[in-house]
Structure 1
Amino acid sequence: MASGVKMLAWILLVGWMGGSAYWHVCKIKLLCDGPVEAGPPTAAAYTIPALNIADGNSLNLSSAMNFGFKKSMPEPNYANVKKELDSLAAYLKANATRKLTITGLYSSIEQNTGSFADLGLARAEALKEYLVQAGVPGGQLTTASKLVELIFSTEDSTHGMEFGFDSLLIPKTEEALAAAEKYENLFKPMDLYFKTAKADYIKTPENEKFITEAVRYLTANTDKKLSLTGHTDNDGTDVTNIKLSKNRANSIKALLIQRGIAESQLVTDAKGESQPKATNDTPEGRKANRRVSIIVQ
């Protein structure tokens, strides 16, 4: 009887030791044969796309960093590419016949809370304003947008813009300048031009379309405003040019009030010669700079 009990104890002890060894080797260290259950996939680390801005063999700006944007926000973070931006501004100022198209990227999962048609255009316009403040004539800069499926970092940031260069041909007369302006939407600036010593702007089918749409839109959206910004060339003093650009903006304001836009929805500003559209070194460039820019905001 005692020997039977002893044998059962040995069997239980051996069984316990075998089970413990199996659990340690197979379940904890996973060294046994057979399929191993895969865990959840690991998300790929976010990589900032490199910046590259090139104009043939004349310009090649590159950086391992890029413009940064928070999700659904239009304002770029320039901190890591300021040197490249300053070089871009210097290049455009030195090459008045080159035109840069800035294309802002945006994603379908982002929200556009601003006045521009989409978030990509708002981002492109923000960069355009930076370059204008750096002294680049606005006429050398155009903006566009592109809907893409952007990837965001764990901090909800994304990066990147697209750039393209083309030749800039400046019309030689005020009439040709006015005819070259094309209406796209109320949130993209349109320039109005004047014949010499005339207070009324040169009317075209395109700017008439803008005015007609502006009257309709502003009547339906009384919280929105139409901005009128007067500009001049660099002939004359700063004081004279500010006064002249203000008078031009006010003359357009009076005409638009006659067209039915409420005075409270018209905002005028005067920039004088501070924001040229083209170089002031040529007669056609100076004509391009004598204008009033209009945009709904």
Structure 2
Amino acid sequence: MTKKTIYLLGIIITILLGTYFFITCCSCCGASSEITETEIIIEETLPEATAYPFKFSDGSFAYESNDNFNFNRSSSSILMPLSTSITEGITSTKSYLEQNTGKVFDITGFYKSDEANKSAFPNLGIARANAIKNHLVAQGIPSSSLNILGELNDDMISSPENVFLGPASYAISNEHEDLEDEMKALYNKIKADPLVLNFNTGQASINLTSEERQKIVAISKYLDKVANASCSVVGHTDSQGNRITNIGLGQERADFAKQYLIDNGIMASKIIATSKGPDTPISDNNTEEGRSQNRRTVITLN
């Protein structure tokens, strides 16, 4: 065997041994020929929901609870049941207002700009404050001792269940000395420019303009502040068809509008719904434009 052959044979043996030991060592060490990708899972941390207390004070009288009236996002309906501490706070407030007749309880409802407002009020803040007011009235606090306001609060954070925890604040203030004059002016304003709705009987909803929503607030405020006050809802029709049928149609429109007001927190006992049918037109019944104006429901104060 020549030296060259021996040299080549040595190289081949070296390669074979190297391959053998590489495979053997990798197998012993548990190495894998596959490359695995490490997965990194980052859990999203949701911001904590804001919670506003049921808190207010006036001199020596004060009350505070971490609980409050809660509402779903884009809703003005109070979530029930209320906590015991809220019930106790309402009782204490009622007693204080009875003993201090010159005081009023201010309720400011909060709302966010991205919420859908389906209420009759200009914003959900006022609608929520009105819902709280109605609950207090049901517990025996006179509506004349309650004020409602709305405030934009985009800092609010809802719970994972889309619930706002206590989107309202409270304060006790003095009754306006010129309240009587203020209510007289408000009455004259509403009577001079009542809320007029033009819609068909079968319409499933009422879409108010910003100006019309302000009129709802004005009417609601007057009904709250003036004892024995009431509002009228009068249905009107055009002259087409039978008068008796139109009287019934006008009543249906008035009842529809009345229910809308009730659904938005105005007490049913303060709403009188009637019909005048085709008897009091405000425009020419010989034209379609005139007839459409005559098909109306007028909401004003009595």
Equivalent-residue separation in structure 1 for 2:54 and 2:269 (angstroms): 36
1:3–1:222 distance in 2 versus 1, CA, 3 Å? closer
Corresponding residue number in structure 1 for 2:160: 154
Q: Is the CA contact 1:101–1:143 (under 8 Å) kept in the aligned structure 2? A: yes
Q: Which residue does the alignment assign to 1:198?
A: none
- Structure of larger gyration radius: 2
Instruction: Name the structure 2 match of 1:116.
Output: 121
1:96 shift after superposition: 1.4
Asked whether the 8 Å contact 1:50–1:66 carries over to 2, the reply is yes
Q: CA deviation at 1:85?
A: 2.3
Q: What is the rounded CA distance, in whole Å, between the counterparts of 1:295 and 1:61 in structure 2? A: 38
| Alignment pair present for 1:14 and 2:25 | yes
Matched, 1:97 2:108: no
Asked whether the equivalents of residues 54 and 64 of structure 2 are also in contact (C-alpha less than 8 Å), the reply is: yes
Contact kept? 2:94, 2:140, Cα under 8 Å: yes
**Kept in 2: contact 1:75–1:123 (CA 8 A):** yes
Unaligned stretches of 5+ residues in structure 2: 1-11, 207-215, 236-249, 259-266, 271-298
Q: Give, in whole Å, the separation in 2 of the partners of 1:230 and 1:126.
A: 13
Q: Is the 8 A contact 2:143 2:224 kept in 1?
A: no
Q: Trace 1:136-151 onto structure 2 (pairs within 5 A).
A: 136-149=141-154, 150-151=156-157
Q: Distance in 1 between matches of 2:93 and 2:75?
A: 24
Deviation at 1:151, TM superposition (A): 1.1
Amino acid at match of 1:163: Y
Partner residue of 2:246?
none
C-alpha change, 1:221 and 1:95, in structure 2 (3 Å) is farther
Aligned mate of 1:84, from 89, 94, 97: 89
Give the Å deviation of 1:2: 5.4
Pair 231,3 (structure 1): closer, same or farther in 2 beyond 3 Å: closer
**TM-aligned CA distance change 1:168 to 1:222, over 3 Å:** farther
Quickly say closer, same or farther: Cα 1:116–1:84, change in 2 above 3 A: same
TM-score normalised by L of structure 2: 0.56
Distance 2:26 2:105 in 1: 80
Question: For residues 230 and 129 of structure 1, do their structure 2 counterparts lie closer, same or farther at Cα, with a shift above 3 Å needed?
Answer: closer
- Note the 1:216-231 alignment, pairs <5 A: 217-220=195-198
Contact 2:68-2:165 within 8 A present in 1 as well: yes
Deviation, 1:142, is 0.7
- Residue aligning to 1:240: none
Pairwise CA distance, 1:205: 4.6
Overall identity of the aligned pairs, in % = 20
Match of 2:140 in 1: 135
AA in 2 matched with 1:42: T
Equivalent-residue separation in structure 2 for 1:121 and 1:270 (angstroms): 21
Matching residue of 2:174 = 167
Deviations 1:142-164 (A, max 9, x none): 10001112211111111221112
Paired position in structure 1 for 2:65:
63
The alignment status of 1:209 with 2:189, answered yes or no, reads yes
Describe the superposition over 1:190-219 as per-residue Cα deviations: whole angstroms up to 9, x where unpaired: xxxxxxxxxxxxxx55422212331xx315
Q: Quote the offset at 1:128 in angstroms.
A: 0.9
The TM-score, its normalising length taken from structure 1, stands at: 0.57
How far 1:141 moved relative to its partner? Answer: 0.8
Q: Report what 1:285 is aligned to.
A: none
User: Which residue does 1:72 correspond to in 2?
Assistant: 74
Q: Return the offset for 1:10.
A: 1.5
Inter-partner Cα distance in structure 2 for 1:221 and 1:53: 43
CA distance 1:253–1:68, shift in 2 (3 Å)? closer
Q: Is the contact made by 1:93 and 1:137 (CA closer than 8 Å) also made in structure 2?
A: no
Aligned in 2, Cα 1:9/1:146: closer, same or farther, shift over 3 Å? same
Q: Which amino acid aligns with 1:208?
A: N
User: Conserved in 2, the CA contact under 8 Å of 1:98 and 1:140?
Assistant: yes
Give me the whole-angstrom Cα distance separating, in 2, the residues matched to 1:21 and 1:83: 71
Rounded to whole Å, the distance in 2 between the matches of 1:230 and 1:41 is 47
Cα distance in structure 1, aligned partners of 2:130 and 2:61: 22
Equivalence for 1:241: none
